[in-house]
Amino acid sequence: MKVTWEELGWERLADGVGRCRLPGWDCTAGLVLGADTALMVDAGSSLEEGTRLHEAARRLAGRRVTHLALTHPHFDHVFGAAAFAGAEVYGAAGTGALFAPGGQGREALRADAVAEGLDARAARAAADALVPVPREVGGECVLGLGAGRRVLLADVGPGHTGQDLAVLVPGSPAVVFCGDLVEESGEPQAGPDAVPARWPAALDRLLELGGADALYVPGHGAVVDAAFVRAQRDALAARFGVSR
């Protein structure tokens, strides 16, 4: 039986579009409903969390998740991906190589997850189960979800990582899922895979996609507006010594 966004503790952002803030690392997971489809944006930090997200989507949509978009390859956003069996998986160009079986990418994600406090067995299980990313987006890709709903996937990075994918849901308002290119609950984190010199340009691209009136959904924290994204862009440019 279908339920409302609010009954499941999700935040409704627009018609057929919502998100939840997951416990632990305060990651966002988004959901976009089509005619007989459902697009999940990010998959949570473990197989257990991914399973809970998939079940929530089933209850909200009345169907399984048919599409999964991964905004960037960090454990807290991708380790639940294997819970979405049968979904078409999308990521920015280069994501697939990081998930290759036996590769250093999987091991780095596992080690990072354990260092951040994820149970070692859960981290190992999630890393071993990482799904391939058969649909890598270089540039832009329009995803049709039926009943006139079309979603734009855009490789807007590098910035926070070398593989940053944004998800634009047109509408009134438009909704932009930003991944960790934008963070509200703390200062944006720049790890060893960040590309600081390109990060401000990635935020410029987000603003071009969404426009002045869109809702911008950070990877962590509350939904923000274009002014917040612009201010964060300027702060990052100053922090990393990047000129226009």
> DSSP letters of 76-103?
HHHTTGGGSTT-EEEEETTHHHHT-TT-
Is residue 3 within 8 A of residue 59, CB to CB? The reply is yes
How big is the CA angle at 123 (ends 118 and 125), to the nearest 5 degrees?
145
Helix H segments across 139-220? 199-210
Q: How confident is the model at residue 101 (pLDDT cuts 50, 70, 90)?
A: confident
186-202 mean pLDDT: 95
Q: How confident is the model at residue 1 (pLDDT cuts 50, 70, 90)?
A: low
pLDDT for 51 equals 98
pLDDT for 148 equals 87
Give percent above pLDDT 70 in the chain: 99
Would you say residue 103 has pLDDT above 80?
no
114-128 mean pLDDT: 97
Q: Whole-angstrom Cα distance, residue 47 to residue 4?
A: 24
What are 222's two structure tokens?
């509350």
180-208 mean pLDDT: 96
pTM for this structure? 0.97
pLDDT in tens, 12-59: 999 999 999 999 999 999 999 999 999 999 999 999 999 999 999 999
